[in-house]
Amino acid sequence: GFTCAAANEMEAERFQELAKVMKKKNVKLGEDPLSCLVKMVTLHGIPKDLDSYPKDLLLFLSPSDYAATGSCRQYFANIGKANLDVLQKESSQRKQLLLEALACLKIPGTQVNEENAEILGRLVCDLDGEYIKTSGGNLLKQLSQCESFLPDQEEAIRSVISSGNTTYGPPVEWSAFTLNELSGLIPVFDHSILQKIPKNTLTLWLKNFAHDSPLSREQLATIVEEILPTRHKRANGCPPDKQITETVLNDDLMPIYYTAEELHACLKNVSLENHLSQILTYPFSVQQLAELKGNLDETYPDGYPESLLPKLGPLVSFITPEEVSKWKITSADTLAVLLKDKPSDDQASAMIKRYVDLGNALNATALNAIGTKYVCLLNATELNLIDSSSLKLASLNPSACSQLTKDILYAKAKRAFSDQHYLPAYYELIEPYLGGAPGVDLRALSKDNVNMQVSTLAKLRRDSLMSLTVAEVQGLLGMNLGDLEKWQHKSPIREWVQMQKQSELDKLHVGLTGGTQEGYMNIVTPKYESPSSASLGTVAMALHLLPALLISFLVMSV
């Protein structure tokens, strides 16, 4: 619940105490709150006890800032244990951290030994494919902890694993314990690697370790596909030893017992409804899931009953918009369960439309189900059906949506939070919707010490941003004013800077350049549709003709 707006209410010393408690309680903070936190903690200089603060705070500092606390090796050992994903992958900050780490550890080439890999920790996730190939198996332990990889990293990991020149040996010799140590890399393994791992190793791993694995159901399904026979024959009836019984339905290894063809034959006359929620958590392959859906289609030829909809899980990906149009989605809870399975935009749009067409309200439950992922799919009619009070309990961020969507939702959010307008919490509530705010509302906010992030400023309505003065932008940004210099060459901040007098920008003392010099006028052509664009053209033409008109006037006067 920590917000930058609350930071203004506390003295720096008290604030440092708060930050230290955050470490003890292992509080998880995002990029914006951490960025604010570091500015407040270092307001009167860099503390000499940085190890008393959350490790994630160090992501926004440098080894030189840490010098009074410890060595650069110690600094990067802490960085390696921090939540590096707070910073966007491929961001300039992450790249700079990695370069400084390699310099600190005196790694001249692209080979990293195990000791340095241990210090780098999660920074290993940012090493490119060349480092991974050259370092052999030294990085695999750390790489298995990474959230995601770039294509060249994936290719390098496969190359190292396939070579067999690691402490783990070649895949053909792996045990279930070996596979478990590298389980974080399984999503990177392709068929050429998986087919070399003994099938009994894959089966043992599924039985003994898959429960505690971070892998998704879909990722586990790739292992199931490797275990099943590669040659598929259409089964002539269900084999006697493969009858689907209660015991089979309760066994989470059911997918490895049946090919898709055997499932097709053995599911006849089997009712899945009572077990559907359970068995759809099992790692069935795409072909097996298609057979399960086929069984439901045969059972319910006129469309699925509403009681079945919340149980569909991964089968949602097979559903067509035409099928959705037959459903009865009469509760927001049902809509929430369906959207939780991350259907495609077309499917989600059909589900929301069906829900609304049946006369259901877009209440807080429905809006939270729609969430930021699908809010941009709502059309103007659906948006106008939203009751403003519902936004009080909903968590939406329409910043990536069309301007019309942002305008409609801002007006509703402003009404929803109007009773908290004079409280510090108001800004945090209204901030996701500010992309639809008119200039007059932003000018009012500039007097409230809101400490707006520059990233938020850049997402404001373009005409609203261009109407703000230097002093008003300074009021909005507060302690984040210094970050404006990093954004000055990016649109639309660049265009805003060009419209300001350089003398006014200089008063900010943050290094902004490109403003209008005294005696000159910058006319920035707007790159957005505006009702006043025609009048702007007229003004530009008038300015162009002004010298000729003045000369004519003087001649006439003489």
Dist. CA 364–CA 416, nearest whole Å? 12
Residue 336 to residue 364: CA distance in whole angstroms: 11
In a domain, 142, yes or no: no
In-domain check, residue 139: no
pLDDT digits (tens, 9 = 90+) for 100-154: 999 999 998 999 999 999 999 999 999 999 999 999 899 999 999 998 999 999 9
Residue 510, pLDDT > 60, answer yes
Q: What average pLDDT does the chain have?
A: 89
In a domain? residue 267: yes
Count structural domains, the chain.
2
Let me know if residue 485 belongs to a domain. Answer: yes
Is pLDDT above 50 for 164? yes
Domain boundary among 485, 500, 515: 515
What does residue 507 show for φ and ψ, rounded to 5 degrees? -65, -20
Determine, yes or no, domain membership for 275.
yes
92 versus 352: the higher-pLDDT residue is 352
pLDDT digits (tens, 9 = 90+) for 434-453: 999 999 999 999 998 889 99
User: Would you say residue 518 has pLDDT above 80?
Assistant: no
* Final residue in a domain of this structure, among 288, 303, 324: 288
For residues 182 and 204, what is the distance between their CA atoms, to the nearest angstrom? Answer: 15
Task: Give the mean model confidence (pLDDT) for residues 61-72.
Answer: 91
The answer to the question of residue 462 being in a domain is yes
Task: Return the closest-CA partner of residue 63 out of 54, 52, 50, 76.
Answer: 76
The answer to whether residues 87 and 59 touch, using CB atoms and an 8 Å cutoff, is yes
In a domain? residue 50? no
Specify whether the CB–CB gap between 8 and 451 falls below 8 A: yes
Q: Kindly report the backbone phi and psi dihedral angles of residue 365, in degrees, each rounded to the nearest multiple of 5, phi listed first.
A: -60, -45
488/420 Cα distance (integer angstroms): 33
From 266, 215, 222, select the one nearest 245 (Cα to Cα): 266
Q: Give the domain-ending residue among 249, 267, 288.
A: 288
Strand partners, 501: 516
Containing structural domain, residue 488: 437-515
Mean pLDDT along residues 488-494: 95
Residue 115 lies in a domain: no
Spatial distance between the Cα atoms of 152 and 128, rounded to a whole number of angstroms: 7
Query: What is the chain's length?
Result: 558
